[in-house]
């Protein structure tokens, strides 16, 4: 069912242009259809800020529940922002205080770009834990993406993520560990998911603290897990929200960082993402970039347009199905007059149930 364009956020117009059904508030007010209010805590860096909005809005809007979706983006202090990104946030995002006052049916927390190894030392840690603390008492279900997964598990259990020997980056095959959980109903038993991270929380650590692992990869580790009650918290370590070009854009940024001397090593290809033709195109471009960097010459334009037709999206159908199952469960457990706390009836000594 449709997203409601309840603000002037440019993402709504971008999604309209892509063919998504977006309903204006006046039309929505004349439809006798239930509303669900979904928060999006967007912590992604400036380059991915608006793309992340579109990606999660698109997944919410693709759900087939008979409901009107109102998505409420907000962010927290402690994340460095350019003047342009901050202006976007100031104009279009809601404050956390307003979010708390109005209430939510469900909450999505995005990943973030973090260089440090110890999350509690990050400037955003205290504001993020305030969101966690409020959500556990006031939101029916929380879905965490990548770093948010690591942060919430650290916050609740003191389990620190482990630094990987090298970046886990690419599109990886996963299999269902539990085929009977409602969150993975009607999805393929094997499916792909993009990953992009330097750190991991291992399956053994999750299961040792009562989390239920639903999907994992031999190469990439756990992608999907849930809290011990089976629903109140959903954990992604991968990025099922990614567009087909998200990893390409990331690869481009890393190539430009190498050219500008911000990193010393030329970035490897994202695994299982570029076919042989694309790899050849970028191998030729690497030779050009290295030569231009050495001679302090201007580089040719990144050959993005040449490779687009070779990029396949092999994960979005599964992502949509999981989101549909998640929000269908939220729909069942909430009503228009009351937001059910996602921690209701849970032992306070075991924060995730």
Burial class, 309, CB count within 10 angstroms (exposed 0-12 / middle 13-18 / buried 19+): exposed
pLDDT digits (tens, 9 = 90+) for 117-167: 799 999 999 999 999 999 999 999 999 999 999 999 999 999 999 999 999
Query: Going from the N-terminus, what domains does the chain have, and what CATH number goes with each?
Result: 3-243+313-333 (3.40.50.880), 246-310 (no CATH)
Report pLDDT for 64. Answer: 86
Q: Which of 122, 241, 250, 254 is catalytic?
A: 241
pLDDT tens-digit series, residues 245-279: 999 999 999 999 999 999 999 999 999 999 999 99
| Mean of pLDDT over the chain | 93
pLDDT given for residue 32 in this prediction: 83
Amino acid 346: pLDDT: 39
Confirm whether 144 is a catalytic residue.
Answer: no
Q: Is 239 a catalytic residue?
A: yes
How confident is the model at residue 18, as a pLDDT? 93
Is 304's pLDDT higher than 90? yes
pLDDT at position 189 over 50? yes
Q: Per the residue annotation, which of 70, 144, 146, 223 is the catalytic one?
A: 146
160 is catalytic: no
The Cβ-side half-sphere exposure at 135, using a 13 Å CA radius, reads 26
Alpha-carbon torsion angle 133, 349, 213, 117, nearest 10: 60
Per-residue pLDDT band at 65 (split at 50, 70, 90): confident
Active-site hit among 72, 150, 154, 239: 239
Q: Whole-angstrom Cα distance, residue 350 to residue 184?
A: 25
Query: Average of pLDDT values for 10-35?
Result: 92
Per-residue confidence (pLDDT) for residue 116, from 0 to 100: 77
């Amino acid at each position: 069912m449709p997203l409601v364009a309840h603000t002037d956020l440019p993402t709504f117009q971008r999604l309209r242009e892509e063919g998504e059904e977006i309903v204006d508030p006046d039309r929505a007010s004349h439809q006798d259809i239930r509303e669900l209010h979904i928060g999006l805590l967007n912590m992604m860096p400036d380059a991915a800020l608006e793309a992340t909005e579109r990606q999660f809005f698109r997944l919410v809007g693709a759900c087939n529940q008979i409901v009107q979706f109102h998505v409420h983006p907000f962010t927290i202090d402690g994340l460095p922002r350019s003047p342009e990104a901050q202006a976007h946030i100031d104009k279009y995002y809601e404050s956390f205080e307003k979010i708390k006052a109005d209430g939510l049916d469900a909450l999505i927390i995005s990943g973030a770009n973090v260089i440090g190894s110890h999350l509690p030392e990050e400037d955003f840690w205290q504001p993020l834990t305030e969101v966690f603390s409020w959500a556990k008492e006031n939101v029916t279900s929380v879905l965490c993406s990548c770093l948010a997964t690591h942060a919430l598990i650290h916050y609740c259990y003191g389990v620190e993520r482990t630094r990987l020997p090298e970046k886990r980056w690419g599109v990886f095959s996963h299999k269902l560990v539990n085929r009977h959980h409602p969150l993975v109903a009607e999805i393929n038993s094997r499916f792909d998911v993009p990953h992009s991270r330097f750190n991991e929380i291992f399956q053994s650590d999750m299961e040792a603290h009562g989390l239920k692992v639903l999907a994992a990869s031999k190469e990439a580790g756990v992608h999907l897990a849930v809290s011990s009650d089976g629903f109140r918290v959903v954990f992604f370590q991968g990025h099922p929200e990614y567009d087909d070009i998200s990893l390409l854009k990331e690869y481009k940024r890393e190539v430009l960082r190498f050219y500008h001397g911000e990193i010393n090593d030329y970035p490897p290809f994202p695994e299982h993402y570029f076919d042989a033709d694309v790899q050849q195109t970028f191998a030729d471009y690497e030779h050009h970039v290295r030569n231009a960097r050495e001679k302090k010459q201007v580089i040719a334009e990144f050959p993005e347009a040449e490779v687009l037709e070779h990029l396949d999206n092999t994960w979005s159908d599964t992502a949509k199905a999981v989101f549909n199952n998640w929000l269908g469960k939220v729909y069942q457990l909430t009503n228009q007059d009351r937001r059910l706390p996602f921690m209701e009836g849970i032992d306070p000594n075991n924060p995730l149930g």
